[in-house]
Amino acid sequence: MGIKAVSFDFWHTLFTESGDAFSFYGERRRKLLTDALAGYGSVTAVQIHEASRAEAELHDLVWRQQHRTLPAAERIGTILNHLEVRVPEDVTMQIARAYEEGLLERPPTLVPGARDAVERLSTRYRLGIISDVGFSPGRVLKQVLAATGLIEAFDSLVFSDEAGFSKPHLEVFRRTARNLDCEPSEMVHIGDLEHTDIVGAKRAGCRAIRFTGITPMAEQEKTMADGATASMNALPALVETLEG
């Protein structure tokens, strides 16, 4: 069966962070909490760090085992519970929104070759994005995508916070196929993570390409993908080979 549509992962496939982004975001979030909680008791930087680490571990567990991502407000609530601090709901929501939009202060950049690959593929296939989110939800990632001028190339945008599920849940792949007016077997998904992008796509009945340009495969690692490449420039031709 031929290919009618191509879906992309967002993080480490289309976009990647600058070298110091993680430390920048982490420090920004710690300062936000410190400032916001200044009037609600004595909380140390060490306590904030430990509470944030514990919450991150919980979020990762939910993501891996339940295949969903938690909204920022719920994640902030978990941190506050660890700190044993009670604040008004509107303060929690203000902190959460500041967490969500921190990405815009140092936005991720397109992976080299991604713009050309998207533009070339869009002339032949309908395109979608299937992305899990962290603190920054789909509404923020759409702003990042819009700033590149590429958002109009995509006919479907499925983010885990909006869909209610994260990869490898079958629903996000099947929903994308419906949005792109094709059967899962007529769609190719491109992503960097084996246990979410590749396993999810294959189980949903799609074909899959492992992108290794940002997240390389481990030595002797095997993949379920139908193809793999470290070069965005090679993607259009690789997709075409799968049509056979």
Q: What is the pLDDT of residues 27-83, one digit of tens each?
A: 999 999 999 998 887 888 899 999 999 999 999 999 999 999 999 999 999 999 999
Are 92 and 133 in the same domain? no
The per-residue pLDDT for 22 is 83
pTM of the model: 0.93
From CA 47, how far away is CA 161, in angstroms rounded? 28
From CA 123, how far away is CA 153, in angstroms rounded? 9
**34 lies in which domain range?**
21-105
Are 119 and 158 in the same domain? yes
Q: What is the pLDDT of residues 217-233, one digit of tens each?
A: 999 999 999 999 999 99
Are 112 and 219 in the same domain? yes
- Count up the domains in the chain and report the number: 2
Helix, strand and coil content of the chain, in percent to the nearest 5, comes to: 50, 15, 35
The model's confidence at residue 199, banded by pLDDT at 50, 70 and 90, is: very high
Are 31 and 9 in the same domain? no
Are 120 and 203 in the same domain? yes
CATH number at 9 reads 3.40.50.1000
> Quick check: 121 and 180 in contact, CB under 8 A?
no
The per-residue pLDDT for 40 is 80
Pairing of strands 15-16, 109-110: antiparallel
Q: What is the pLDDT of residues 75-95, one digit of tens each?
A: 999 999 999 999 999 999 999
